[in-house]
């Protein structure tokens, strides 16, 4: 059991507790999980509301599918996310709003619309993004994608030590963001399961996640319904819920702080159970 919950994490003017839930809201027509169910503006806004009601601390809005697919330019990404950020901010002033983007131009626009966190799942391909976060006084997620270009898949990827590679990259990105002026208590690191990694790599970083939490940076995990869970259990994307909860539980036990999920209510129940077990183990 890792004890890394002392590092402050503060977004939207409030401190986040030891296990914060980040709900996925995709304004994409081709999401791998929901297949476009929240692509329409009102559907996305309603999904954000349901997530808040279910206990989400953070709403993570994305306008571009992570995997290969139809090209989405800057203008289209802006169209999909900026107005939604503004609407979620108006309806839910207390929630933390994150935007899943690697583009500095998009980051600047959503920050002006009310975003509190830029979630760069591709490991820093746009070096200006951290400066945008600093300029607006908002947070940044520093991830590891093994040097892949955005929206590409790994081909015969290999590492001498995948966790060492992950930690080396994300901590360097975090220190760079800090030097540029992003607040220390607004920086997270994310191993980015499946990004630039095969199933073996993703399982190994899950098992060794305590090495990441030991760095002192708050760790985000985004494992919900991902391919490494499906391949491990032999389950299609709509039958990976149990596997997702298992990995969330292990990640929480090893000290992860933020959990990006599709099913907020189930994740909240699982993480509450981990919290109860943690208290018992510490003699609370």
Say if CB 150 and CB 125 are below 8 A apart.
yes
Query: For residues 92 and 2, what is the distance between their CA atoms, to the nearest angstrom?
Result: 33
From first to last of the 284 residues of the chain, give the pLDDT tens digit.
555 556 899 999 999 999 999 999 999 998 888 878 999 999 999 999 999 999 999 999 999 999 999 999 999 999 999 999 999 999 999 999 999 999 999 999 999 999 999 999 999 999 999 999 999 999 999 999 999 999 998 888 999 999 999 999 999 999 999 999 999 999 999 999 999 999 999 999 999 999 999 999 999 999 999 999 999 999 999 999 999 999 999 999 999 999 999 999 999 999 999 988 876 766 65
Please answer whether residues 207 and 165 qualify as being in contact, where contact means their C-beta atoms are separated by less than 8 angstroms: no
Alpha helix stretches (DSSP H) within 34-128: 41-53, 74-91, 104-113
Q: Are 114 and 89 in contact (CB under 8 A)?
A: yes
| Cα(23)–Cα(259) distance, integer angstroms | 8
Give, as one character, the DSSP assignment of residue 237.
Answer: G
**pLDDT on residue 159:** 97
Contact 159, 136 (CB under 8 A): no
Class of the domain covering 10-281: alpha beta
Distances, alpha carbon 73 to alpha carbons 18, 65, 106, 222, 279, in Å: 37, 12, 10, 24, 47
pTM for this predicted structure: 0.95
**Strand pairing partners for 189?**
142, 219
Looking at residue 84, its pLDDT comes to 98
Could you give the C-alpha distances from 19 to 6, 11, 185, 256, in angstroms and in order?
12, 14, 15, 7
**252 in helix, strand or coil?**
helix
Cβ count near 270 (within 10 Å): 20
In this predicted structure, what is the pLDDT of residue 188? 98
């Amino acid at each position: 059991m890792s004890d890394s919950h002392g590092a402050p994490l503060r977004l939207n003017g409030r401190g986040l507790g030891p296990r914060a839930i980040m709900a996925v809201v995709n304004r994409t027509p081709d999401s791998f999980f929901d297949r476009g169910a929240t692509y329409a503006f009102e559907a996305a806004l309603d999904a954000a509301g349901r997530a808040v009601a279910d206990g989400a601390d953070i709403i993570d809005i994305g306008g571009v599918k992570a995997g290969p697919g139809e090209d989405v330019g800057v203008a289209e990404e802006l169209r999909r996310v900026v107005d939604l950020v503004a609407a979620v901010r108006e309806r839910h002033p207390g929630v933390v709003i994150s935007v899943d983007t690697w583009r500095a131009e998009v980051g600047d626009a959503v920050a002006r619309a009310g975003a509190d966190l830029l979630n760069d799942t591709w490991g820093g391909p746009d070096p200006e993004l951290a400066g945008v976060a600093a300029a607006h006084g908002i947070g940044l997620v520093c991830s590891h994608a093994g040097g892949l270009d955005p929206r590409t898949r790994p081909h015969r990827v290999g590492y001498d030590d995948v966790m060492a590679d992950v930690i080396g990259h994300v901590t360097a990105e975090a220190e760079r963001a800090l030097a540029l002026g992003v607040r220390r208590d607004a920086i997270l690191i994310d191993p980015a399961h499946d990004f630039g990694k095969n199933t073996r790599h993703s399982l190994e970083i899950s098992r060794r996640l305590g090495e990441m939490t030991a760095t002192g940076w708050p760790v985000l995990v985004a494992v919900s319904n991902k391919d490494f869970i499906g391949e491990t259990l032999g389950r299609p994307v709509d039958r990976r819920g149990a596997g997702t909860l298992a990995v969330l539980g292990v990640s929480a036990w090893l000290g992860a702080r933020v959990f990006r999920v599709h099913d907020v209510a189930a994740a909240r129940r699982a993480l509450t159970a981990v919290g109860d077990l943690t208290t018992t183990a510490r003699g609370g």
